[in-house]
Structure 1
Amino acid sequence: MKHILLCCCCLFSLGLMAQKTDKADKKANELFERSLESMRVYKYDEAIQFLQEALKVKPNYPDAYGQMGLTYVAKKNYKEAITAFKKLLEIDPDGIRFIRFSYAKALAGNGQFADALRMADEQLAASKNPSVELRAFKKNMEYALTTKPVPFEPKNLGNQINSPDAEYFPSLTIDGKTLVYTRRVGGRNEDFFVSERDSLQWLAAKDMGEPVNSEFNEGAQNISQDGEMLVFTGCDFPGGRGSCDIYFSVKTANGWLAPRSIGTAINTELWESQPCLSPDKQTLYFTRETSDAGADIFVSRRGPDGRWSLAERLGPNINTPGREMTPFLHADGQTLFFASTGHQGFGGLDIFFSRMQPDGNWGPAINLGYPINTIDEDGSLTVAADGVTAYFASDRTDSKGSLDIYSFELYESARPQPTLYVRGYVYDAKTNQRLVAALELTDLATKLTVANIRSSENGEYLVPLPTGKDYALSVSRKGYLFFSENFSLKEVKKGQPYEKNVPLQPLEANAVVVLRNIFFASKEYTLQPASTTELDKLVALLKSNPTMQAELSGHTDNVGSDADNQALSENRAKAVVAYLVQQGIDAKRLKAKGYGETKPVDTNDTEEGRAQNRRTELKVVSM
């Protein structure tokens, strides 16, 4: 883009100045030449200052107005560019032939798409061999005229985050309290900075420091939703495979560990960059250059052994023959934002989003619209867990000197599903010792696993979950009975997490666990389909402990007669045993027992208490 503008500058100056140099004031010409020198090294403000001085000396200097318009286009100050071009044409209407395409860009940058298209058509008619860029511009303007502007009111995050240096690639933890971003320090080296948020505002950002920041370039990072893992791009690192590779660091109680390469399943001799983790940290999206000078978005999945699978290119709804970059997967796990030159847009890189379909594939790419997208390079977007607040980097006129980080409210139809999180820790029910354990969360409606993670070394876990659904939580560790729970996020307060500390019972005689994810309809004893996941875990437990004998017991609340409740509890216990036997468990190892309403664990005076009393339990009889 910069080289194209410089070519325009040279053509313009050679065109009009060759005709009018003999009439120009020497001082104005000298200032004009100095503006060209500044423009060649991208010192746009300095160039404009020289042009303004030239116009003071020679008020009707067409070259200066034309050059000023081109410089404002380079600065993306399209309103001022239009003003300068109009002034040029008042003085010399013939000057249009030198600046028509740039004028069209200024009009498009100002949202005047119809005027921009008209001027592009005029340029096409006047061109013997129209450029590919001009033809693409015309197509973009035709598309722009079919769209309507979307709500967009960006706000600069302020001096606590932004500086005269360039800030970009914001990423956010799910609780909205930690913001990590890249800063190009001194215009050269890229490092990470982090800001914490209190109840009112972002606090002053701090250099993340060693061992993550180093003498080399670190950039294009993504922090995991739980804040415990950072993936990023490292360029020209010792031992790297390509010019840029993907690295990761893990946070411990003592701070961040030294970064490590994410491995050869992802890093190649090509350029890999802009990684993004899924909410459960088991899937990684990233950008890789292609052999034809393009770029595509790839995905890799982490197996049970912790190794990443060989990266695969996403399908045609995402990738095109153009460039696809900067993937961001929202905390809902269902909405992917990315930038593309290949899908139809307004010009340059536009930001798109795609939603995951029921078959697990990504749906059609949807342009976020103008003025979020413009004719310029619109590189990346991050959306907070609420699905409303979006963050991006821009060099708008109110920036602190270069790229700054801004926020805005994303319009409703583009919002991901609001997402909260379940958090807590796992511990031994007898000793209270914190435990590393496997946690699985399942969507009860679809029976699909939405998260499969392990708790940290101190037993803590955090899992993002879309609101509006019911979930089953299952926690397991070798040598312990698994724990099960179900909960609803259909009616929750904004920002209010579901907190659950999980006690695990050692696998020994007389240990008891409540099977919360075994479901029956009211007053019935036929197992509901949503029970399958829990029942299959019970099968696996019994098969992995072949000498274990167990009692399956049914319990009810006190609604109804004693006899009816006794019969119901017995039949429910028998239904569970029957399922286990069907799955190959020896019936001699199992006992079905009904206790009716005789063993309540909570009051029967409230609905919540009665719900706790309606349960199925597993008791270890012997090992």
Structure 2
Amino acid sequence: MRTPSSYIFITLGLSLFTFFASGQSLSKYEKQALKACEKGDYITALNHYEVLLNQEHRPDLLFKAGQIAQQLEAYYLAANYFGRIAKEEQSGALADATYHQALALKALGRYEEAIAAFEEYQKNKEGVYHEIAAKELANCRWALGQELHPVKLDVVNAGLNVNTENDDFAPLRYAGKLYFSSRPAGGKSAPAERIYSAILDFPAQTSDANPAGKEGGAINTALTADAQRMYFSLCEKTPDGASSPCKIYVRMKNFDGQWERPKILPSVINYQNYTATQPGIGYDRTLRKEVLYFVTNRPGGMGALDIWGSVIERDGSYGEPFPLPINTPLDDVTPYFHQASQTLFFSTEGRESMGGFDIFRSKKTGPQTWSEPENLGYPLNSSFDEQYFTFHTRTKSGYFSSNRPGGVNDGTHIGTLPSDIYRAQMYVELNPRFVNALDSMALCDVRIELADLTLGGTRTFYINANCEDYLIPLDLERVYSMSVSSKDYLPAVIRLNTLGISFSTVLQQVIPLMPESTADVNAAKVVVKKP
């Protein structure tokens, strides 16, 4: 079994430092650690502190090492360092050690330990994060409840034909092709991001949707329902290698099925000096028009990255953008509009969550109104970051990116792993319950014929005499006719459908059946009058 990177103690260069330890004073190591921090070289700084801590117990250095580990998002290390500071040592500048330990434990998904640490921290009167700790404590209890009552779905890594040693993200499946983006490592000198596509288990290829001759990164694909328009972000680099604000482009397909040259969207979308990225497109039934959703840090939002929308008029122009009411003061990102269910999926740090970014959904309820966002729960969400959720109706599969342990890069990095793409297999099922229409007593030994009125075909099911719960698998975007029969009862026909479903769902259906004897009684009451 591969060891998660968050469990790896940093040893880079440690043997070299230990070799020279006898010839250098401990204070010199501390100065070297501080210099490394000033340069942003946190790994080297942490190595210096590790040498010092191997020589003696220093609560102040444990606290500094824990802070650096948090900066690196090496949460196992952070929890270890903060946890080694004794209770009686937690005063003054070290009073919040247990709070930081609890945050690290929460980030690792060790909710029970985090709850105990937050509760212990609340007893320390010198701590300054009591109000935040109370919220984090409630979050941990909620997350633990999610783990105890998981959503029925299977989450699997999308595989080595898609995922690499780099950040792989923004998956979107159209028909049999999976589009996604990949971000090479290397900082300012790294190659530009690119859009890729993969069919089934075949190796991914650079997509022909990428713009030619651009140094910037093309990422975050969005397709219209007919796949005739593709929106994407282009994040160009400045001459010194730094990233400039992202902008959104569109490409149209010509009559030959080839992508035309990309066109930058107007300034009403690409607001000057501000980022516009992560486009999503969908037809809004309440407005009877398409809406372009995107993420921006422009003025007028809640203060961080927010999700905005722009109505696309029938002449192709873009209406004045507006922030969505689901935004929070923290980052709200990666919008995806599922047209069949009129539901927006997105990720946010600003709501009750398992930790980091969680995936939520909100249904469009009116021209300007949305339902209260709903967390999609565990195991889709975790204590790590889940983003870029999209849904493929025919296969009942959700796709998303996550930096959770267990990916193809597990054990290869210090701190947070690069994101991998995952597939979540959804389950949509019917749970029928049959009762006597006269006294509501449960009926067993029932025969069901389920006819697909959309694509044709009939399946037959039998519910046994034990009256156990029975789950019938259903396909999405179908209309069904269910014929029910049971001995000594009149047959019944029920209509049901799976239109607009976009997540694991169990449809509960209570079906009353009339005893045959009631038909005989009613027939005896009929009096035929002679003409």
TM-score range, shorter chain: 0.5 to 0.7
Matches within 5 A, 1:304-453: 304-314=314-324, 316=325, 318-330=326-338, 332-346=340-354, 348-357=356-365, 361-370=369-378, 372-373=380-381, 378-385=386-393, 386-394=395-403, 396=405, 398=407, 400=409, 402-409=417-424
Q: Which has the larger radius of gyration?
A: 1
Q: Is it true that 1:257 corresponds to 2:260 in the alignment? A: yes
Residues 60 and 91 of structure 1 are in contact (CA less than 8 Å); yes or no, is this contact kept in structure 2?
A: no
Q: For residues 365 and 329 of structure 1, do their structure 2 counterparts lie closer, same or farther at Cα, with a shift above 3 Å needed?
A: same
Residues 277 and 285 of structure 1 are in contact (CA less than 8 Å); yes or no, is this contact kept in structure 2?
A: yes
Deviation at 1:246, TM superposition (A): 2.0
Matches within 5 A, 1:106-505: 106-113=104-111, 115-117=113-115, 119-120=117-118, 123=121, 126=124, 130=128, 135-146=131-142, 147-149=145-147, 150=150, 155-168=156-169, 170-184=170-184, 186-188=186-188, 190-198=192-200, 201-206=201-206, 211=211, 214-224=214-224, 226-235=226-235, 243-252=245-254, 253=256, 255-269=258-272, 270-278=274-282, 282-289=290-297, 290-291=299-300, 293-314=303-324, 316=325, 318-330=326-338, 332-346=340-354, 348-357=356-365, 361-370=369-378, 372-373=380-381, 378-385=386-393, 386-394=395-403, 396=405, 398=407, 400=409, 402-409=417-424, 467-469=477-479
What percentage of aligned pairs have identical amino acids?
21
Q: For residues 52 and 208 of structure 1, do their structure 2 counterparts lie closer, same or farther at Cα, with a shift above 3 Å needed?
A: farther
Residues 32 and 48 of structure 2 are in contact (CA less than 8 Å); yes or no, is this contact kept in structure 1?
A: yes
Partner of 2:10: none
Deviation at 1:248, TM superposition (A): 0.8
Q: Structure 2: which amino acid aligns with 1:248?
A: V
Counterparts of 1:213 and 1:279, CA distance in 2:
32
Deviation at 1:179, TM superposition (A): 1.8
Deviation at 1:326, TM superposition (A): 1.6
Residues 234 and 246 of structure 2 are in contact (CA less than 8 Å); yes or no, is this contact kept in structure 1?
A: yes
Q: For residues 255 and 82 of structure 1, do their structure 2 counterparts lie closer, same or farther at Cα, with a shift above 3 Å needed?
A: same
Gaps of 5+ in 2: 1-21, 239-243, 430-453, 455-474, 481-494, 500-531
Counterparts of 2:346 and 2:68, CA distance in 1:
30
Counterparts of 1:106 and 1:306, CA distance in 2:
48
RMSD: 4.4
Counterparts of 2:141 and 2:135, CA distance in 1:
10
Q: For residues 288 and 83 of structure 1, do their structure 2 counterparts lie closer, same or farther at Cα, with a shift above 3 Å needed?
A: closer
Residues 233 and 247 of structure 1 are in contact (CA less than 8 Å); yes or no, is this contact kept in structure 2?
A: yes
> What SS does the corresponding residue of 1:139 show, helix, strand or coil?
helix
Residues 28 and 55 of structure 1 are in contact (CA less than 8 Å); yes or no, is this contact kept in structure 2?
A: no
Counterparts of 1:196 and 1:319, CA distance in 2:
33
Higher relative contact order (CA 8 A, sep 6+): 2
Counterparts of 1:305 and 1:399, CA distance in 2:
46
Partner of 1:520: none
Partner of 1:616: none
> What SS does the corresponding residue of 1:138 show, helix, strand or coil?
helix
Q: For residues 145 and 231 of structure 1, do their structure 2 counterparts lie closer, same or farther at Cα, with a shift above 3 Å needed?
A: same
Deviation at 1:231, TM superposition (A): 1.0
Q: Cα deviation per residue 1:97-138 (whole Å; 9 max; x = unaligned)?
A: 35222111112223344553554455566466835xx63342
Q: Structure 2: which amino acid aligns with 1:403?
A: P
Gaps of 5+ in 1: 1-23, 415-443, 445-464, 471-487, 493-623
Q: Structure 2: which amino acid aligns with 1:332?
A: A
Q: Structure 2: which amino acid aligns with 1:142?
A: A
Counterparts of 1:179 and 1:209, CA distance in 2:
10
Deviation at 1:249, TM superposition (A): 1.3
Residues 184 and 191 of structure 1 are in contact (CA less than 8 Å); yes or no, is this contact kept in structure 2?
A: yes
Deviation at 1:203, TM superposition (A): 1.0
Counterparts of 1:46 and 1:157, CA distance in 2:
34
Q: For residues 321 and 187 of structure 1, do their structure 2 counterparts lie closer, same or farther at Cα, with a shift above 3 Å needed?
A: closer
Counterparts of 2:354 and 2:498, CA distance in 1:
40
Q: Cα deviation per residue 1:369-388 (whole Å; 9 max; x = unaligned)?
A: 35654566544323333343
Residues 195 and 221 of structure 2 are in contact (CA less than 8 Å); yes or no, is this contact kept in structure 1?
A: no
> What SS does the corresponding residue of 1:328 show, helix, strand or coil?
strand
Calculate the TM-score normalised by the size of structure 2.
0.60
> What SS does the corresponding residue of 1:256 show, helix, strand or coil?
coil
Counterparts of 2:40 and 2:223, CA distance in 1:
34
Q: For residues 491 and 141 of structure 1, do their structure 2 counterparts lie closer, same or farther at Cα, with a shift above 3 Å needed?
A: closer
Residues 197 and 207 of structure 2 are in contact (CA less than 8 Å); yes or no, is this contact kept in structure 1?
A: no
Bigger mean CA offset, 86-95 vs 300-309: 86-95
Which structure shows the higher helix fraction? 1
Deviation at 1:258, TM superposition (A): 1.9
Counterparts of 1:359 and 1:327, CA distance in 2:
18
Q: Cα deviation per residue 1:307-343 (whole Å; 9 max; x = unaligned)?
A: 33333333x3x23454432211235342211123443
Q: Structure 1: which amino acid aligns with 2:418?
A: L
Counterparts of 2:426 and 2:60, CA distance in 1:
43
Partner of 2:5: none
Counterparts of 1:399 and 1:40, CA distance in 2:
32
Q: Cα deviation per residue 1:181-212 (whole Å; 9 max; x = unaligned)?
A: 142463346422313223xx141342658635
Q: For residues 71 and 368 of structure 1, do their structure 2 counterparts lie closer, same or farther at Cα, with a shift above 3 Å needed?
A: farther
Q: For residues 85 and 160 of structure 1, do their structure 2 counterparts lie closer, same or farther at Cα, with a shift above 3 Å needed?
A: same
Partner of 1:82: 79
Q: Structure 2: which amino acid aligns with 1:140?
A: E
> What SS does the corresponding residue of 2:146 show, helix, strand or coil?
coil
Q: Structure 2: which amino acid aligns with 1:258?
A: R
Counterparts of 1:353 and 1:410, CA distance in 2:
17
Residues 190 and 219 of structure 1 are in contact (CA less than 8 Å); yes or no, is this contact kept in structure 2?
A: no
Counterparts of 2:496 and 2:208, CA distance in 1:
35
Q: For residues 220 and 172 of structure 1, do their structure 2 counterparts lie closer, same or farther at Cα, with a shift above 3 Å needed?
A: closer
Counterparts of 2:185 and 2:82, CA distance in 1:
36
Residue among 69, 73, 81 paired with 2:70: 73
Q: For residues 327 and 136 of structure 1, do their structure 2 counterparts lie closer, same or farther at Cα, with a shift above 3 Å needed?
A: farther
Residues 121 and 127 of structure 2 are in contact (CA less than 8 Å); yes or no, is this contact kept in structure 1?
A: no
